[in-house]
Chain A
C-alpha cells in the first residue's frame, strides 16, 4: 500500500521491450512517489522513458517488473479490462495533439468518457457543462474541433480529462503544439486544477518554462531518475 500522503507509488519497476532477439530496457529499477495534489513534471531527452513512465502510471501499459500503486489500488496487477474501467474513473488524460473526435461537438467530446459510467442523461449534462465551465468554454459547447483554436481544443481536451472527476491527471506535452500565449493559459489552467480542485497532475514536457510551473520536476535519462528539482515556495 502507498504511504498515506502518496497518491502514486512506483516501486522498483523495470520495463523492457524485445526487438527480435534484442532486449531494449526503457525503464530500469525506477521508484518514485507522488503525493496527492502535487503537480509533478517529468523531463528528459527523447528516449529517456518519460512517456513510458507516464503510460505505466496511467494504466496504459504494464511494467515488466515492479509495482505501481495509485491510491489503494495496485494497477500493475490489473487485467486490460480492469485497467480500462479504472482509467475511466480515476485518470484524466491530456494529449499533446488534443485528439478530439472531429465529428463530435465540444459537448459530445467531453461527454465521451461519461458514456461508460452508469449516469443519467441529466447527470451527464450537468457534469459536462461544469467541466466546460471550468475550462472557460461554456459558450463553445456546440462547436466542433475544426471550429476551435489550438488553445481552445486543448481546453476541451482538459475538460474531457476532468469530467469524470478523476484524482489523477496525466498530461503528455500538453503545450507542445501551442503558441506561447495559449501554452501559458493551459499551464494556468492546470495549476488551477491542482490548487482549486486538488488534482494530482503528472506532466511530461520538454519545455523548461512549462516544467517551471510544476511543484517538483524529475529528470530521466536512459530509463533512470537522474535528478530532481523542487519549486521554491
Chain B
C-alpha cells in the first residue's frame, strides 16, 4: 500500500499549479459550507426539543414585546403551584430588558448597552451556555457573579461590549435609558462574561432596576414610570422532562392569577422556532439551495482537475496496464489522488475556518432573530474532511473509471 503512496504524491506534484489551485478552490468552498452549516447547526440545536432537563419560557400572550407585572414573578417562578402536590420547576429566572447609552447626545451602537436585568445567581444556573460551564472557568465566573450580588449597582459586561465602550473593569458609568426613558442607572463594571455569545451583552441586578423605578415615582410626585407596572419581559423555568413541562403549562394557563394580562408558555426550542419562523425562507435557502450548490460546485472543481489530469496521462495508464497494473488498481490510484487532495484540503480549510472565525474574528457576526453571533463548532473539524472525501469521490469517479478503461491497443494505435 505505502509503496504506491510515493507514486500518488509524485503524480500530484506533476502539475503543482493545477494541484494548488484545486486545493485552494476546495478550501474556499469548504470554508463557505462550514460557515453556512455552523449557523444552521446552531439554529438546529436551538430548535431541537430536549426530552429532559428542558427550559420553558413564559411571556405575555398578546403583546410583543412581552410586558408582565412584577407581581407575576413569584407565582410564575413556582409554575403557578399553590398546593403541596402541585408541580414545581427545578429552577427559574426573570428577565427585564434594559437598553441604555453612555452618551445620550450621540447614541451609537458602540456606546449603547443592552442589559439583562435579572437575579444574579441565575447567571450560573439558568443562562444558556453559562449554565454548562465547569471547573475553573465556572469558579472564575462565580466570583464575578458574587460581586454582582454584593454590589447592587454592579454590571457584568461582555468582552466586545467593554472594548466598544472603551471602559475597564472597576470603572463606573451612567447608562441613560432609552426603553426605560428617564431611568438612568449609575453602574460599576464588576466583571466580564466569559468569552461566549454574551460578548456584546451585559447583566444588571434586577433589584437595581426596580429600585430605580421606585425612585422615579418618588421624584415625580407619586407618578409611576410608564413601564413600572409591567417591567418583566420573560420568566424562564427549568423542568425535568416533557411531563413536567406539561404540568407546569397546565398550572399556569389554568391559574386565574396570570390572566390579566394573559400569558403563554412554550418550550425554549418551540419559542426559538416560532421566532425563527420569519427567517424560514433564508434558512431554507441556506440549507437546501446554497449549501448543496456549493458542494456540487466543489465536486465539479475536483472532477475538472482530475479529469484533465487523467486525459493527459492516458498513455501512462496504458503503459501501466502493459506493465501489469490491473484496471482496478488504476481506478484506485486516481481515486486516492483525489481523496488525498479532498481530505487534506477539507481538513485544512475546516481547521483554518474554525480557528480564524472563532479565535481571530470572535465568531460570525450576523443577526438572525435574536442571535447575533455564531461560532464554528468543533464538529466542523470532521465536516471538512468528510466534505472533501465525499466530493472527491463523487467528482473523481468518472475520470478514474476512464483511467481504468484505457484500452492499450487503442492508445498505442494513436501514437503509431
Enumerate chain A interface residues (CB-CB to B < 8 A).
51-52, 55, 58, 60-61, 80-81, 84-85, 87-89, 93, 95-97, 99, 101-104, 108, 112-113, 115-116, 121, 124, 160, 172
Asked if A113 and B3 make an inter-chain contact with CB atoms under 8 angstroms apart, the answer reads: no
- Please count the residue pairs between chain A and chain B whose beta carbons lie under 8 angstroms apart in the complex: 63
Q: State the CA gap A197–B14 with chains docked (Å).
A: 36
A-chain residues with CB within 8 Å of residue B6 when the two chains form the complex: 108
Enumerate chain B interface residues (CB-CB to A < 8 A).
3-4, 6-7, 10-11, 13-14, 315-316, 319-327, 329, 408-409, 412, 415-416
Asked if A99 and B315 make an inter-chain contact with CB atoms under 8 angstroms apart, the answer reads: yes
From B4, B327, B408, B416, A60 is in contact (CB under 8 Å) with B408
Q: State the CA gap A101–B14 with chains docked (Å).
A: 10
Asked if B325 and A116 make an inter-chain contact with CB atoms under 8 angstroms apart, the answer reads: yes
In the complex where A115-B7, A121-B3 touch, is A103 in contact with B14 (Cβ < 8 A)?
Answer: yes
Q: State the CA gap A81–B329 with chains docked (Å).
A: 11
Q: State the CA gap A99–B415 with chains docked (Å).
A: 11
Interface centre among A102, A103, A104 (most CB of B within 10 A): A103
Asked if A85 and B415 make an inter-chain contact with CB atoms under 8 angstroms apart, the answer reads: no
Asked if B324 and A88 make an inter-chain contact with CB atoms under 8 angstroms apart, the answer reads: yes
Asked if A103 and B322 make an inter-chain contact with CB atoms under 8 angstroms apart, the answer reads: no
Q: State the CA gap A14–B415 with chains docked (Å).
A: 24
From B4, B10, B13, B326, A81 is in contact (CB under 8 Å) with B326
A-chain residues with CB within 8 Å of residue B322 when the two chains form the complex: 58, 60, 87, 93
Q: State the CA gap A156–B361 with chains docked (Å).
A: 56
Asked if A51 and B416 make an inter-chain contact with CB atoms under 8 angstroms apart, the answer reads: yes
Asked if B325 and A55 make an inter-chain contact with CB atoms under 8 angstroms apart, the answer reads: no
In the complex where A99-B315, A101-B316 touch, is A93 in contact with B3 (Cβ < 8 A)?
Answer: no
A-chain residues with CB within 8 Å of residue B412 when the two chains form the complex: 51, 172
Residue of B nearest to A172 (CB): B412
Q: State the CA gap A218–B233 with chains docked (Å).
A: 102
Asked if B10 and A87 make an inter-chain contact with CB atoms under 8 angstroms apart, the answer reads: no
From A95, A99, A103, A172, B10 is in contact (CB under 8 Å) with A103
Residue of A nearest to B323 (CB): A113
B-chain residues with CB within 8 Å of residue A102 when the two chains form the complex: 14
Asked if B315 and A115 make an inter-chain contact with CB atoms under 8 angstroms apart, the answer reads: no
Asked if A87 and B409 make an inter-chain contact with CB atoms under 8 angstroms apart, the answer reads: no
A-chain residues with CB within 8 Å of residue B11 when the two chains form the complex: 103
B-chain residues with CB within 8 Å of residue A112 when the two chains form the complex: 7, 320, 323
Q: State the CA gap A85–B7 with chains docked (Å).
A: 20
Q: How far is the CB of B72 from chain A (nearest CB, A)?
A: 76
Q: State the CA gap A93–B322 with chains docked (Å).
A: 8
Q: State the CA gap A195–B296 with chains docked (Å).
A: 60
**11 A/B residue pairs, CB under 8 Å, sorted by A:** A52-B409, A60-B408, A93-B323, A95-B319, A102-B14, A103-B13, A108-B6, A108-B7, A112-B320, A112-B323, A116-B329
